Structure 1
Amino acid sequence: MTDTTRQGWLKRTLFLGVELRPGEAIGVLAMFASLFLILLTAYLLKPAREMLILTEGTAEIRSYAVALQALLLLVFIPLYSKFSRRFDSYRYMQIVTAVCVVTLLGFAAAGKSGMSISVVYFVWLGAYSVMIIAQFWAFASELYSREAGERLFVIVALGASLGAWVGSAMSRELVNYLDAYGLMIAGAITLALSAVPAKRAGVSVPEASRGDTGRAETAQTSIFAGFQLVISRRYLLLMAAFVIMLNLVNTTGEYLLSAILEDLYAQGSAAGTIDVDKGTYVGRFYGGFYFLVNLFGVLIQYFIVSRLIRYAGFSFAFALTPLVVFLGYASLALLPIVGWFRYFKVVENSLDYSLQNTARQMLYLPLSRQEKYEARAVIDPFGQRIGDLLQAGLIFLGLHVLGWAATEFIPLAMIMAAGTLTLALLIIRERNRLLAEQQGRAETEEGD
């Protein structure tokens, strides 16, 4: 098979709808495979988290454990930023991956020895999940130029959607044979494997598609350089606020889903229609839930994302998810049919993991290497965990001060979703201004 024929076949399948240029296939496939394994790992580890936290605790404790993740990142992010300046992009990715693999094996060993690790593991996994993905995308946005990234990231992101779907399908079956600690060991293995294709990608991207992969700038020496960057630039500050609000809305919905699940289990146990223990019931539910979320995520990523960005434009693609989430919560506030809430969460999470995730990574392409690593390390992990912290405060206030039932949080989620949509529109305007400035400088330099 000639190179031309092979590339034509790939365009009709994996690269459907994406303009692939000579020499780009191997690198983008390697990045696809690495992110596939990272997300497969995440969906082996998430059911283990829910099995532990909802058997040793409650949905309310789960909500507060989410908040502790933000406190952990207050310590971790400055250290992450400081060390990111000392290594090239791939080497640093190797180090972060190795530390996480060892930590997972330690959790499994501690749990099997009889120690109670549910809250500690829950807190660590929340920080890990956003940090490992932020690390990957920092590597990707540094490896590719802005022009190449805007074309190819939809393919790389398909690896995330497909890996999440396969991981959720595997975990749905594995919960019948493995306990939470067995899932952790399986996740450690798949995470270790993810570093192999990433190494190939680092040497396979053609020069025409390559960005700057050197070490980070060394002018900033403060361990809080990432926070300083975010505060000093309007574009980054808006992105941080958007991530906080987006996650605040999403985690409020996660609380509602887990509260509904607890009610369903209590009712089923009392009626005699559920004959399994709570851990197995929760594991099966979340295995099936994540399976649907990631199945739709794959379909959206594969058939819709690249075409939507190409034909409707980046701005529309970026704003679509917050718009759908706002309309969803508005409809639930007007007509609160609790039985349909899980299906709305499937739609919300599917769009978030596919379309919104791809568009959000493209926001970093016009930025410097330091901003891609250090500002991203603040915006993505810390921004999400601040949203978690605020969510825990809202849940506590609603339950214990205002005396709300779970469904009474829906109108509040609608208001927060409106704020998220407003921030998305402000980011679009600021990004257009930034790109116009860069274009103007480039034209001036060409004229000189």
Structure 2
Amino acid sequence: MLLVGYYIMKTVREPLILATGGAEMKAYAAAGQALALIGFVPLYGWLASRVGRLRLIVSVLLFFMIVIELFYLGLRVGVPSLGFAFYIFVGIFNLASIAQFWAYANDLYTKMAGDRLFPIIAIGATAGSPVGTWIAEKLFEAGLHVQNMLHIIVGILAVHLVLYWVVDRQKAAPVPGPAATAAPIAPLKGRGGFALVLASPYLRLIALLLIILNTVNTTGEYMLGRLVVGAAKEAVAAHPGLDIQTYIGSFYGAYFFWVNVAALVIQAFLVSRIVKYLGIAGVILFLPMVALGAYSVIGLGASFAVVRWAKTAENATDYSVMNTGKQMLWLPTSRAEKYKAKQAVDTFFVRTGDLLSAGIVYAGTTWLALGVRGFALTNVVLTLAWLAVAALLLREHRQVVARTQRTEAA
């Protein structure tokens, strides 16, 4: 349900930002998310230190639902530049709510159980993505205005919130005895998310990996958005009655749909086999290899259609294979790291990649006059660095798992 709601929201945000500011403004808005998260992450850590597990989840989701309704009111009265603010909000909502979901899953399961169950859980999460994009595409085709779709998103999130309550009631007592149930649901005392990340070499490498990953991906999204805006302007020039927001919204509805259908197929039939035969290394290295091939092809010179399907392959792998690998990395960590540090890594440090991508876009468009091919070659260099960091992270992961096993045995 979470992914259904998010992908409707994600499809809604594209025409709002691209039609009013273009692909460059979209890249700069992504950088604004990193600045907003500097405040959000400490507030999340503060709340996690004072309330139990379920109250934390309920509080955060209710906050997001209220903000979505406020955006509805803003669109109704015509608040200027709201597409820019909405893009920032959607990015924060996406990262924070999904990080919280997987922190909860990591809290419920041991490493052994998580290695077995996470590829299966991710099938359900991945299945929500094509459903959400299909619903969004049909709503656009039916002529429903973007602001009215926000009520639908809030309703879906309300159902998602109820499911948390149901699962928490079933999992509140994993083993008999009050002592066993107190720790998992108690507030998390101690250091905040940023401090936990900076104190751990393992968590620092996870953060660095996600910074590079998101820099590459966001730069690729800029390339695609730039081509989409150009195609939309050509279509409007040829057919003056065509609405540019509708054109862009319909394109992204179809694009996200096929990305997520491919991700679902990969998740259902490939990911568990990669984990079984290649382990954590297989799922962590798969995406950078795909990205290296995709941007190498684009760098050689590619049409709009080739860029679209190269990005489809990259994002489908990210949402399936890499997503499972990212969550498995947190299984051998402490509860405080699962909630506080994960929220910092999956929000602020991921958006730091967007900030770096915005710098690349600014430099490439303002000083270097780069085209799509130039940005693709930049991504090739970054992907090579990504592979090097992944190798270091996998070595550190083996050491963390060994220490955890020794501690549990003692």
TM-score range, shorter chain: over 0.9
Contact 2:50-2:188 at 8 Å conserved across structures: no
Contact 1:216-1:369 at 8 Å conserved across structures: no
**CA, structure 1 residues 333+55, in 2 after alignment: closer, same or farther (shift >3 Å)?**
closer
- The letter for the 2-side match of 1:182 is N
**CA, structure 1 residues 274+411, in 2 after alignment: closer, same or farther (shift >3 Å)?**
farther
Task: State the match for 1:159 in structure 2.
Answer: 124
2:168 equivalent to 1:197: no
SS in 2 for 1:178: coil
Task: State the match for 2:389 in structure 1.
Answer: 423
Task: State the match for 2:350 in structure 1.
Answer: 384
- The letter for the 2-side match of 1:155 is I
Gaps of 5+ in 2: none
Contact 1:73-1:381 at 8 Å conserved across structures: yes
- The TM-score normalised by the length of structure 2 is 0.94
2:98 equivalent to 1:133: yes
Hey, what's the Cα distance between the residues in 2 that align with 1:127 and 1:217? 22
Hey, what's the Cα distance between the residues in 1 that align with 2:405 and 2:63? 41
Contact 2:129-2:260 at 8 Å conserved across structures: yes
Hey, what's the Cα distance between the residues in 2 that align with 1:357 and 1:101? 25
Hey, what's the Cα distance between the residues in 2 that align with 1:431 and 1:133? 22
Match of 2:193 among 226, 245, 256: 226
After the TM superposition, which of the residue ranges 345-354 and 174-183 deviates more from structure 2? 174-183
Match of 2:137 among 164, 172, 182: 172
Match of 1:244 among 207, 211, 231: 211
Following superposition, the deviation at residue 438 of structure 1 comes to 2.3
Contact 1:169-1:287 at 8 Å conserved across structures: yes
- The TM-score normalised by the length of structure 1 is 0.86
Counterparts of 1:293-308 in structure 2, within 5 Å, are 293-308=259-274
Deviations 1:276-296 (A, max 9, x none): 210000000000000000101
Task: State the match for 1:99 in structure 2.
Answer: 63
Contact 2:236-2:243 at 8 Å conserved across structures: no
SS in 1 for 2:184: coil
**CA, structure 1 residues 338+113, in 2 after alignment: closer, same or farther (shift >3 Å)?**
closer
Hey, what's the Cα distance between the residues in 2 that align with 1:200 and 1:157? 19
Contact 1:143-1:202 at 8 Å conserved across structures: no
Contact 2:264-2:320 at 8 Å conserved across structures: yes
Query: What's the % identity of the aligned pairs?
Result: 33
Following superposition, the deviation at residue 327 of structure 1 comes to 2.0
SS in 2 for 1:194: helix
**Number of matched residues?**
403
Following superposition, the deviation at residue 335 of structure 1 comes to 4.4
Hey, what's the Cα distance between the residues in 2 that align with 1:192 and 1:259? 35
2:5 equivalent to 1:41: yes
Hey, what's the Cα distance between the residues in 2 that align with 1:208 and 1:418? 46
SS in 2 for 1:316: helix
Contact 2:283-2:324 at 8 Å conserved across structures: no
2:317 equivalent to 1:317: no
**CA, structure 1 residues 168+274, in 2 after alignment: closer, same or farther (shift >3 Å)?**
farther
Match of 1:372 among 315, 318, 338: 338
Contact 1:326-1:414 at 8 Å conserved across structures: yes
